[in-house]
Amino acid sequence: MFSITRRILFGDCDPAGAVYTPRIAHFVVEASLAFQSHILGAAAPRSLFALGILPPARNLAIDFLAPLDYDEEIAIGVAVSSIGRTSFTCRIEAVKPDGETAFRASFTQVCVDATTRRPQAVPPALRAALQGHLLA
């Protein structure tokens, strides 16, 4: 599983120092883009645009399992859970320093033609890169 670390910033939190719920969605997208950049070998948006696709989200589901607080550092892991004809789904999991899982998410993106804005097949280069990180 690909992993990044992220420190919880003051701006991620409410006045009591707990993370605002919508920020978790941002963490998921941020980790997914870092994962895609890693597997494609360059910045994900540019790489996907070069393949002629836009990668809008189709589905995002998050299970909140433990609170996150200001200045905590979490490890966010990303792996591919499925690859369809026109979409792919990643599993994202954040773990606190003590080993407790803070949240789990499922994030599905669709490959959309940059010109027609219609779904298209996952490009072969992207499919190959994703398959290298497919969960068993």
Q: Which whole number is the average pLDDT over 94-119?
A: 96
**pLDDT tens sequence across 34-78:** 999 999 999 999 999 999 999 999 999 999 999 999 999 999 999
Instruction: Dump pLDDT digits (tens) for 18-37.
Output: 899 899 999 999 999 999 99
* Antiparallel, parallel or unpaired: β 101-110 and 57-64: antiparallel
Let me know the angle formed at the C-alpha of 76 by 133 and 48, rounded to the nearest 5 degrees. Answer: 50
- Per-residue pLDDT at 124 exceeds 90: yes
Domains of the chain (ranges; CATH) run 2-131 (3.10.129.10)
Task: Tell which residue, 7, 3, 22, 30, has the closest CA to residue 64.
Answer: 22
The mean pLDDT value for 80-85 works out to: 98
- Measured between alpha carbons, how far apart are the two ends of the chain, in Å? 11
Confidence of residue 17 (pLDDT cuts 50, 70, 90): confident
pTM: 0.92
